[in-house]
Amino acid sequence: MHVLAQDKVADTRFGCAPFTRITLLPDALWQDSLTEGLLNAIRPLLASPVSENVLIDVTEINDTVLALLLRFLFNQAYTLNDLQLKKTDATATRIRHITAFCQPEQYEKREKMFRQQQAIANGMVAARRLADTPSDCCTPQFVVNEAQTLCASFPALHCEVLDEQQIVEQGLGLLHAVGKGATCPPRLLAIHYNGISDGPVRCYIGKGITFDTGGLWLKEGAGMYTMKYDMCGAANVLGLLLTVAELKLPVRIMGVLALAENAIGPNAMQPGSVARACNGMTVEINNTDAEGRLVLADAIAWTSQRQPQARYIIDMATLTGAVVKALGYELSGLMTQDDALRQALTEAGRQSGDEVWSLPLDARLKKQTESAIADLCNTPTNNAAISASAAWLLHHFCPSDIPWAHLDISGTALWRENGRSVASGRPIPLLVEHLLEDIA
């Protein structure tokens, strides 16, 4: 084997038996928690693995980098080919077993991390598979069915579903407005986890637009191509609950998935129409392509009514392209007025390697949501501060005595490589780390 310079990867396909391939990676990569350098070096090696077994030395590695590495390896359990929509080579090698080497005194800590990261990856895989499913199949009811099937494996999970009639009856006029133009009607799915019999309920809400045409504010074709992924927030809430159930965490959680297809048609919501949320507030819909904040607003209000003593409410959504312009593809946007929740989520992001960056959220954004005809409008007419103004609208739907945070995951919900996008499963690692710290 030819060993390259100190900062280069050394790789051979002619390893000594029983090894098929041996790769040496620079020491600096094992300590780099910022740029995912280790994953970037390993990713091409696993694109076409030569063995089902991976052996890694985790003796000298940063804890955050190890968490990233383990999640990456465990996520190899799923690829797009598993959707069985493409003819593939069934005999192709897949990673099926991971062995790690460490010092005896490291074993207990490493074993615990392996167990947690595998559970996190399992939740991510469930979310990724659901999000990757084409939208002609992945309708609101399909998401409900998949969630019920997956949750049935865990006695601590149970599902509650509102159909389109119940959505109207319970006053969720914003969710109804978004979904009424589609032939596939909207759903509200609540997943309850009771790992203990009593205690505060932690609430997570996900935007579940199973396909987003933009409605009558129609997107151009290029902007519509990846819109099956506009339900990643909802998929990630499901994945989070599955992870929590697998880890059997001693906590109570309610996850709410606001599911609708934003379609065009005779019954589609019209620009300038006004809809009423379940908390009584009215919203002027001056842009039908700003539908995500509408379904989230109703879901936040509904959740706060069901759980008035909630420990916190965290929503997540592929909400705005503006957050990508601000933060790129590596950071999720965090918007909250609760300093303790902001600090806790930020630190959990650092520890997990699934980071967030806080954007401002205060009364200076008030004019961005003012309407002459309704309590609020859903987009600012000056096209400024799009991400923060969306969060400012949402904060009206959570009572001030419940800590609330909004995560805009438009940049992080997808993994982009070679001009292609697939679901990433983020921010499930962030939320699990935050939850573990919160109940510690």
Span 174-178, average pLDDT = 98
**219 catalytically annotated:** yes
The residues of the chain that CATH labels 3.40.630.10 are 135-439
* pLDDT tens string 183-201: 999 999 999 999 999 999 9
Backbone φ/ψ region at 31: left (φ over 0), alpha (ψ -120 to 50), beta: alpha
Q: Residues in the chain, how many?
A: 440
Quote the tokens at residue 231. Answer: 């339900």
What's the pLDDT tens digit per position in 188-245? 999 999 999 999 999 999 999 999 999 999 999 988 999 999 999 999 999 999 999 9
pLDDT digits (tens, 9 = 90+) for 418-435: 778 999 999 999 999 999
Catalytic residue among 293, 311, 342, 426: 293
CATH annotation of 135-439: 3.40.630.10
* CB contact at 8 A, 432 and 243: yes
Question: What number is the average pLDDT over the span 69-73?
Answer: 96
In the predicted structure, residue 2 carries a pLDDT above the cut 80 = no
Which one from 21, 219, 306, 350 is the annotated catalytic residue? 219
- Predicted confidence (pLDDT) at residue 11 exceeds the cutoff of 80: no
Share of the chain above pLDDT 70, in %: 97
Instruction: For residues 64 and 353, give the distance between their C-alpha atoms in angstroms, rounded to a whole number.
Output: 6
Residue 5 above 60 pLDDT?
A: no
Residue 350 has pLDDT above 90, yes or no: yes
In the chain, what percentage of residues exceed pLDDT 90?
A: 84
Residue 334 to residue 348: CA distance in whole angstroms: 12
pLDDT in tens, 260-291: 999 999 999 999 999 999 999 999 999 999 99
pLDDT band for 7, please (50, 70, 90 cuts): low
Checking if the pLDDT of 1 tops 50, the result is no
Residue 254: pLDDT over 70: yes
**Strand-pair partners of 208:** 259
Say if residue 410's pLDDT is above 80.
yes
Average pLDDT in the chain: 94
* pLDDT score for 27: 86
Q: Binning pLDDT at 50, 70 and 90, where does residue 6 land?
A: low
What are the tens digits of pLDDT across the range 294-309? 999 999 999 999 999 9
**35 confidence band (pLDDT: 50, 70, 90):** confident
pLDDT given for residue 48 in this prediction: 81
| Global model pTM greater than 0.85 | yes
Compute, in degrees rounded to 10, the torsion defined by CA atoms 324, 325, 329, 330: -100
